Amino acid sequence: MKHLIICLLMIFFVSLSGCINDTNEAANDRTDNTEELTGSREFQVEGTEVVIISANLSYPTYVAAPTTEDRKPAIVLIHSFRGMEPGYIELIDRFASDGYVVVAPEWQTFETSPSDEVVEQLIRDSVDYAKTRSDVNTDLLGLTGFCAGGRYTMLLLPEIKEFNSGVAWYGFPYSGGDENRPAAPADVIDGLDAPMLIIHGTSDQASNISDIYRYCTELDTAGKYFELKVYQGQPHGFMLENGQLSQSFEAEDAYWQMVTFFDRTLN
């Protein structure tokens, strides 16, 4: 009986050891999967402020890029109507650590609400600046923007053909029709050739989700390629909280959606 008990105890501890090893391996697998989902490649990043001249005016522009010498895709990023908040700087640096050169002009430097013509010229000049950099692959250019920048992404992606793809965050597809903003993004759908990802929240009171569904229906009817990612319960501007980059699950997932979309469309 004594020997039997000893044998049973040995079997128990061996089984327990196996369970622990399996658990550790599963945890490691989850960690590996999480790292894969974030798309993080962890390049070292150099951030700097440059000046972009547009219509004889000097616009401060934050630029972040990996320190590697190879040529990389470049993204022009248009901040929200609330300006270049600290959260955008953090987001841009993180974006650069994933292998992109990011150019973010401060489009409200001279006016809170400049005309679409002024902003379009600034974005075109930002593209021209990106093309002068030796670390940029000029055949791989993307556009992204948030809030008002999301509207500009929807509006300018069909107009500026150098862009290969774009990501519009909580934009305004039917905003326009006045002197400063003569056209709404929905008016220029026919000119859209580049794929676009649209990111939005169902609780966005500034830009109702019903307008996004309507806009996507028009894109689909016109045969334009788009992807739509909707976050239930998320408000307008959910990527930032009090000016800082949000750490919520939805913000983390939305960032991953953006990076992987550009990975697929610019590489």
pLDDT digits (tens, 9 = 90+) for 171-210: 999 999 999 999 999 999 999 999 999 999 999 999 999 9
Percentage above 70 pLDDT, the chain: 85
How high does pLDDT run on average in the chain? 88
Residue 121 pLDDT exceeds 50? yes
CATH architecture of the domain formed by 41-266:
3-Layer(aba) Sandwich (3.40)
pLDDT digits (tens, 9 = 90+) for 128-177: 999 999 999 999 999 999 999 999 999 999 999 999 999 999 999 999 99
Query: Which residues, in sequence order, are CB contacts of 233 under 8 Å at separation 6+?
Result: 201, 202, 203
pLDDT digits (tens, 9 = 90+) for 44-83: 999 999 999 999 999 999 999 999 999 999 999 999 999 9
Query: Which residues, in sequence order, are CB contacts of 86 under 8 Å at separation 6+?
Result: 243, 244
Residue 126 pLDDT exceeds 70? yes
Task: Provide the pLDDT for residue 267.
Answer: 81
Q: How far is CA 192 from CA 157, 189, 218, 224, in A?
A: 7, 5, 12, 7
For the entire predicted model, the pTM comes to: 0.85
Task: Provide the pLDDT for residue 35.
Answer: 40
Exposed, middle or buried, 39 (CB in 10 Å: 0-12/13-18/19+)?
Answer: middle
Q: Is the Cα torsion angle 97, 102, 107, 113 positive or negative in sign? A: negative
Residue 1 pLDDT exceeds 90? no
**Helix, coil or strand: residue 188:** helix
- pLDDT confidence tier of residue 18, bands split at 50, 70 and 90: very low
- Rounded to an integer, the average pLDDT of 113-119 is 98
Residue where the block lists tokens 């079997």: 11
Q: How far is CA 14 from CA 5, 9, 19, 21, 194, in A?
A: 14, 9, 9, 11, 58
Exposed, middle or buried, 63 (CB in 10 Å: 0-12/13-18/19+)?
Answer: buried
Task: Provide the pLDDT for residue 42.
Answer: 84
